[in-house]
Amino acid sequence: MRSLLEREWLSRYPYERHVAEVGNMIQEAINEETKSTAATVIRRVAIVGGTHGNELTGVYLIKKFEQFPTLLHRSSFEAIPLLANPAAVAMNQRYVDRDLNRCFAREDLSNPALATYEDKRAKEIAAQLGPREQPKVNVIIDLHSTTSNMGLSLLPSSKAPFNLRLAAYLSRLHPEVRVCCGEQCDQDAPLLRSLTPLGCTLEVGAIAQGALDAHYFQQTEQLIRAILDYIDANNKGQPPSAPRTLTTYQAIASVDYPRNAAGELDAMIHPQLQHRDYEPLFPGAPLFLTFTGETLPYPGETTVFPVFINEAAYYEKGIAMVLTEKQEITIPDGA
Ligand SMILES: [Zn+2]
């Protein structure tokens, strides 16, 4: 039964109606093959936004979910919205003192000497959602945007079969969904999402920092709905059918910009590479362009698939792009 507010919302916005239809379809799409393997029961889900204060898609989706909580309601579990870094949001900056999404290493959370604003927020969030050993939520969905042309990218918190099945389901639902596994794709990563093994980061873009993009706002909300519907159906023993294989982009290395002795940039992303996230980069293909117009080719010997190309927030991290390998994996049974 939908609330009055939600019904009104659905009548006003046709895309929401489409999502509702998709939601009904997945309820009906019971796949006997995956039914026996999806025994994971989810009781609490955290939807997190504003981990980076200038990534407004997540910030405004959390505000919307706080205003219309029925949008997150499902009968078999509780979903809670969380604005992770309110001080950075108020300043429209990525962070106040340091990147909150690098503050969740085990040793940092247990180190009382670390007391920047973000270190304190990380400890509060870990107390609210964690700890890793016995988290208070089963699933964390962390909403981010990127200035790179990464479409709807899903970065699973681990390679648990549950995450991979969900990713395979979403990949089939939305052609723009791609699945990217970080170099550290487990709970040892210092990321907010690492508090639980189940869940993912959504990286959506290209979106400028400090700006909203209505198309991607709606796409991100649609993905969240699909995730919640999937979990609900899964909890009820009726997991929607999902492909048994999944294309993933496994991070293998990051590449910094060419820099001078003072650390200043010597080159830019080559125009032929700009916006080409997830496309093959062949050995010898243009990588960077110097300020005097010289093309610097990719020196690697194998074809790779770069992502986070020209991500604005990564200049300070010494990352011009992240190189991935494209892999086809078969999803194992189990949780
Ligand atoms: Zn972010």
23: CATH: 3.40.630.10
What average pLDDT does the structure give for the chain?
A: 91
57 alpha carbon – ligand 1 mean position (Å)? 10
Indicate whether 296 belongs to any domain.
no
Instruction: Give pLDDT, residue 129.
Output: 98
102 alpha carbon – ligand 1 mean position (Å)? 11
Indicate whether 118 belongs to any domain.
yes
Residue 154, φ and ψ in degrees, nearest 5: -115, 120
252 alpha carbon – ligand 1 mean position (Å)? 20
Global pTM value: 0.88
Tokens of 248: 């993933």
145 alpha carbon – ligand 1 mean position (Å)? 6
Which pLDDT tens digit goes with each residue over 3-38? Answer: 444 444 444 444 454 545 544 554 444 333 334 344
14 alpha carbon – ligand 1 mean position (Å)? 29
Q: Which residues of the chain have pLDDT under 50?
A: 1-15, 17, 19, 22-23, 26-38
324 alpha carbon – ligand 1 mean position (Å)? 19
CB atoms within 10 A of CB 33: 11
230 alpha carbon – ligand 1 mean position (Å)? 24
Instruction: Give pLDDT, residue 40.
Output: 78
Task: List, in order, residues 6 or more apart from 247 with CB less than 8 Å away.
Answer: 171, 178, 179, 326, 327, 328
286 alpha carbon – ligand 1 mean position (Å)? 27
Indicate whether 298 belongs to any domain.
no
Indicate whether 281 belongs to any domain.
no
Tokens of 77: 């579990």
% of residues, the chain, pLDDT over 90: 85
**Beta strands, E only, the chain:** 44-49, 78-83, 139-145, 151-156, 177-181, 198-205, 245-255, 267-269, 286-290, 295-297, 305-307, 321-330
202 alpha carbon – ligand 1 mean position (Å)? 9
Is residue 153 within 8 Å of 45, Cβ to Cβ?
Answer: no
Domain region containing 223? 4-247
Indicate whether 303 belongs to any domain.
no
Look up residue 35 and give its DSSP letter: H
54 alpha carbon – ligand 1 mean position (Å)? 8
Indicate whether 37 belongs to any domain.
yes
11 alpha carbon – ligand 1 mean position (Å)? 32
Indicate whether 282 belongs to any domain.
no
Count: domains in the chain: 1
Please, how many CA atoms are within 13 Å of residue 54, restricted to the half-sphere of its CB? Answer: 16
65 alpha carbon – ligand 1 mean position (Å)? 19
Instruction: Give pLDDT, residue 15.
Output: 46
146 alpha carbon – ligand 1 mean position (Å)? 7
Instruction: Give pLDDT, residue 21.
Output: 54
Indicate whether 322 belongs to any domain.
no
33 alpha carbon – ligand 1 mean position (Å)? 36
63 alpha carbon – ligand 1 mean position (Å)? 17
Instruction: Give pLDDT, residue 156.
Output: 98
